[in-house]
Structure 1
Amino acid sequence: MMLVAMPVRAADQQFITIGTAGVTGIYYPAGGAICRIVNEGRSEHGVRCSMEATLGSIANVEKIRKGELEFGFVQSDWQHHAFNGTSVFEEEGAFPDLRSVFSLHAEAATLVVRSEASYKTFDDLKGARVNAGSEGSGSEASFSVLVDRLGWSESDLQGVTNFNSTEVAEALCGGQIDAYFLLIGHPAGVIEETAEQCGIRLIGMDDKSLDTFLEHAPYYMRTEIPAGLYGLEQPVASYGVVATVVTSAKLPDSIVYTLVETVFDGFESFNGLHPALTHLKARDMAGVAMAAPLHPGALKFFSEKGLLPAR
């Protein structure tokens, strides 16, 4: 007897929304990639996915905490702070129900200046006009951490602005700012857009500065922006984080399992949907240590597939 798969009834469908970030960053197309793969199989598993452009990591954590999002992209440093109730989350307190789903690409602290600027290192930017990122974004909060670690106050800068990712290229090339800061995966559309409007350079950190910076920030890691991007002849040394997908412990295991299963079963397709995702490996996405525990739905899938590191 032949069995025929029956479509899921509309009443049985589950709707999920993934919080991303601005449309010129990587979270937005990565969220689109996840939703595209999930929605291709929605008649079988009953999960329908949409994405929401947000201010980024911190906004996504807050929306998940309030039940306004099911999933969100969050930098690993802000995942750490949210779970533990530190830094910008100190007033609201720890988010013990925050759960990891999987990790994605590395994101590097990036400072972009015009090619004719005299700035050579992070320290040279003292007294400059720097764009920290959209107000309330993970980049803005990470810039505040950088300023603090360098021993500066914001009064040491001529001005700190909050142009968003669609405005910052014009602001830099038009002379409204001297530099802009991002904590972002590469290649990044916003930097490519800037390079099309004017000549640019990326500023790195020397080893001594990196050692000092990382000593008291275990949620950061050494990384670099590869040569070949944006006309770079040499890699640019920096520090960074890992992009992660998170959810709440309150979300049913079956929904999280379905999302993870769908992404990993369509892994080759997912890899090809954005250049920043090209070098991802399934074992790394499951095994990177994250502050928040794995959601049971993700843990079940990774255990079944043998993707978790040996303990």
Structure 2
Amino acid sequence: MKKRSLLFTTGLLLIVSLFLSACSNEAANDANQSAERETPKFISLLTGGTGGTYYPLGGAFANIISEKTGIETNAETSGASAENLTTLKDGNAEIAFTQTDIAAYAKDGEQMFENVKVDNVQAIGTLYRETIQIVTTKKSGIKSIEDLKGKKVSVGAPGSGVVPNAEQILEVHGMTFADIARKDLSFDESTAGIQDGTIDAAFVTAGTPTGAIEGLSATEDIVILPIAQDKIDALIEKYPYYIQDEVPKGTYKLAETVPTVAVQAMLVVRKDLSEDLVYDITKAIFENLDQVTHAKAKMIKAENALRGVGIEVHPGALKYFNEKGIKAE
């Protein structure tokens, strides 16, 4: 009887020992995996098409992050805002550019994110205005948004934030996509199409000057269609993430300043990135903007980064801004 009891006790102790060992190994593996998630060796920064503003800025930001954090960071081309948020949702990148309005749609499950809310993305901060530029040429004869009826018009690449911008601007002019021959083209494809005559006009939402439009202005007399003040007021009243803006005289050789509207560009990250990592990324970008040669860098200021964000800010970014005495408005 004693022998049987001893064997049972020994067996029980062996089982407990194996269980504790397994738990210890699992905890160690979890800790190692967590550490890897918190300090990745490589980061993907999603931008947009090569003809927009996200791409050159993203390249400069990637270089800064790589240099200042020691983490290899690669700027990748993409379909821009909406596609970028979907990619972050799927866990296939770490940082991305997007428009503030598109981030709001993603958070609330609206527009292109209906029934597919993006709940794993937080903001680093806003950067600069994304001006809505409705581009055509003098030879097209198009002088107003109403003149777009029946014309071949690009409303942005599939998955970009330009599509809802175009839809909403047409809406306040009493129009829909049914009133135009809609084309879904990137900025470069749009300006190439205008140049070769396969499309008549294009909506471009990007910081000015926009590379693709500058390229077109080298060979064509550019026209940016104005938005009348009453239409601007109606748009902002219904969609408050818009702000009044303009394309300055001289841009693309324009003879006059053109009134329009804008949303804001922002940087977002996956919320599972560690506070320390996002703090380092935020600090690296905002304290080394002098290394960015693109004209938009002059508009990016830490003191403005928490204005109009519209979604939750990552704790790592908040830590940096709080250190600088910058609070959300």
Same fold, judged at TM 0.5 (above): yes
Q: Which blocks of at least 5 consecutive residues in structure 2 are unaligned? A: 1-38
Any conservation in 2 of the 1:58–1:138 contact (CA below 8 Å)?
yes
- Taking the aligned partners of 1:306 and 1:71, their CA distance within structure 2 comes to 24
Q: 1:75-110 CA deviation, whole Å, 9 max, x = no partner?
A: 011011111111111131x32332110111101111
Where does residue 195 of structure 1 map in the other structure? 217
Letter in 2 for 1:184: A
Please say if 1:132 is aligned against 2:155: yes
Q: For this pair of structures, how many residues does the alignment match?
A: 291
Query: How far apart, in 2, do the equivalents of 1:279 and 1:153 lie?
Result: 33
Alignment partner of 2:188 out of 153, 166, 183: 166
SS of corresponding position for 1:197: coil
Are 1:13 and 1:46, in contact at CA under 8 Å, matched by a contact in 2? Answer: no
2:66 maps to 1:39: yes
Amino acid at match of 1:260: T
Q: Distance in 2 between matches of 1:151 and 1:90?
A: 24
1:301 Cα offset (Å)? 0.7
Instruction: Letter of the 2:110 partner, please give it.
Output: T
Report SS of the residue matched to 2:321. helix
Distance (whole Å) between structure 1 residues aligned to residue 208 and residue 251 of structure 2: 8
Aligned to 2:4: none
User: Is residue 302 of structure 1 aligned with residue 321 of structure 2?
Assistant: yes
Distance in 2 (CA, whole Å) between partners of 1:220 and 1:177 is 27
Following TM superposition, by how much is the alpha carbon of 1:276 offset from its aligned partner in structure 2, in angstroms?
1.7
Residue 265 in structure 1 maps to residue 311 in structure 2: no
Shift of 1:299: 0.4
1:235-257 Cα shifts (integer Å, max 9, x gaps): 21111101000112111112111
Residue 278 of structure 1: SS of its match in structure 2?
A: helix
Measure how far apart 1:31 and its partner are: 0.6
> How far did residue 212 of structure 1 move?
1.4
Among 74, 77, 82, the residue aligned to 1:50: 74
CA–CA distance in structure 2, aligned partners of residues 200 and 264 of structure 1? 34
Q: Kindly tell me: are residues 189 and 299 of structure 1, through their superposed partners in 2, closer, same or farther at Cα, counting changes over 3 Å?
A: same
Structure 2 match to 1:81: 105
Q: 1:154 to 1:279 in 2, by over 3 A?
A: closer
1:277 corresponds in structure 2 to 297
CA distance in 1 between partners of 2:132 and 2:54 (Å)? 16
In 2: Cα distance, 1:54 partner to 1:96 partner: 21
Structure 1: which amino acid aligns with 2:80? Answer: G
The TM-score, its normalising length taken from structure 1, stands at 0.89
Q: Which residue of 2 aligns with 1:142?
A: 165
Flag the structure with larger Rg.
Answer: 2
Query: Deviation per CA, 1:170-211, whole angstroms, max 9, x where unpaired?
Result: 211221111111111101110011112322211110111111
Distance (Å, rounded) in 2 between the aligned partners of 1:234 and 1:124: 20
- Stretch moving more, 25-34 or 173-182: 173-182
Q: Aligned-pair RMSD on alpha carbons?
A: 1.6
Tell me the SS of whatever aligns to 1:116.
helix
**Moved >6 Å (runs of 4+):** none
Q: Which residue of 2 aligns with 1:109?
A: 132
Deviation at 1:13, TM superposition (A): 5.5
Task: Name the amino acid aligned to 2:191.
Answer: A
Is the contact made by 1:47 and 1:255 (CA closer than 8 Å) also made in structure 2?
no
1:140 is displaced (CA, Å) by: 2.5
Structure 2: how far apart are the matches of 1:181 and 1:264? 30
Following superposition, the deviation at residue 215 of structure 1 comes to 1.4
Q: Distance in 1 between matches of 2:248 and 2:300?
A: 16
What is the aligned partner in structure 2 of residue 6 from structure 1?
A: none
Partner SS state of residue 231, structure 2: helix
How far apart are the structure 2 equivalents of 1:290 and 1:147?
Answer: 25
SS in 1 for 2:140: coil
Do the aligned partners of 2:86 and 2:118 also contact (CA within 8 Å) in 1?
Answer: no
Report percent identity of matched pairs.
29
Amino acid in the other structure paired with 1:35: A
Match of 2:57?
30
C-alpha distance in 2, partners of 1:105/1:136? 21
SS at 1:234 equivalent: coil
Distance 2:234 2:224 in 1: 21
5+ residue gaps in structure 1?
1-11
Amino acid at match of 1:113: T
Q: Does 1:121 align with 2:141?
A: no
Aligned-partner Cα distance in 1 for 2:316–2:265:
19
Give the letter aligned to residue 52 of structure 2: G
Structure 1 distance, partners of 2:107, 2:220, is: 41
Q: 1:18 corresponds to which residue?
A: 45
**Matching residue of 1:66:** 90
1:292 aligns with 2:319: no
- Conserved 8 A contact 1:101-1:245: yes
Name the CA distance, whole Å, in 2 between partners of 1:293 and 1:79. 10
Query: Does the aligned pair in 2 maintain the 1:83–1:291 contact within 8 Å?
Result: no
